Structure 1
Amino acid sequence: MINVQYFARYRETLGLDGESLDWHADVQTLAQLREQLAARGGAWAVLAEQNLMCARNQDLCSLAEPLSDGDEVAFFPTVTGG
């Protein structure tokens, strides 16, 4: 099982805080997970944004990060400030 959390604008756009997904060995990286989620279409396309940030098990990481059963994944937009 992979626990996926959505934050900030993604949470608002998708209308949910997170979800639990069955883990499949063919989804080996966060990039592949993101592609799978974005392929749902509609509002899910927001996850295809180029500047998306992510974390695995509460550590910031790149989309190349490998996934394992039991991981917690978070997707959130980049933060800008002045």
Structure 2
Amino acid sequence: MTDQPAITVDGHAIPLLGFGTWMLTPEDARRMVAEALRIGYRHIDTAWIYHNEAAVGDGIRDAIEAGHVARDDIWLTTKIWVAHFDR
């Protein structure tokens, strides 16, 4: 999985296949993100509206601390909810 195809944007390689966290409870998000990174995913997708961003971060930290992945090898995608757009 770590040799997955990527697209390069502004010099950054973004893996085309990402692990989505929609509908995951915080407990599941933490555990499953850490496992996804352990097995080779390098792109994690979350959003404010999923209510699990902190747990996703915990899962990333767990995988880094366990030595499964380096932080520089992870691409994290998140979205801002429309009600939060402001100048």
TM-score, structure 2 normalization: 0.28
Q: RCO (CA 8 Å, sep 6+): is it higher in 1 or 2?
A: 1
Higher helix content, 1 or 2: 2
TM-score, structure 1 normalization: 0.29
Specify the structure having the higher radius of gyration (Cα): 2
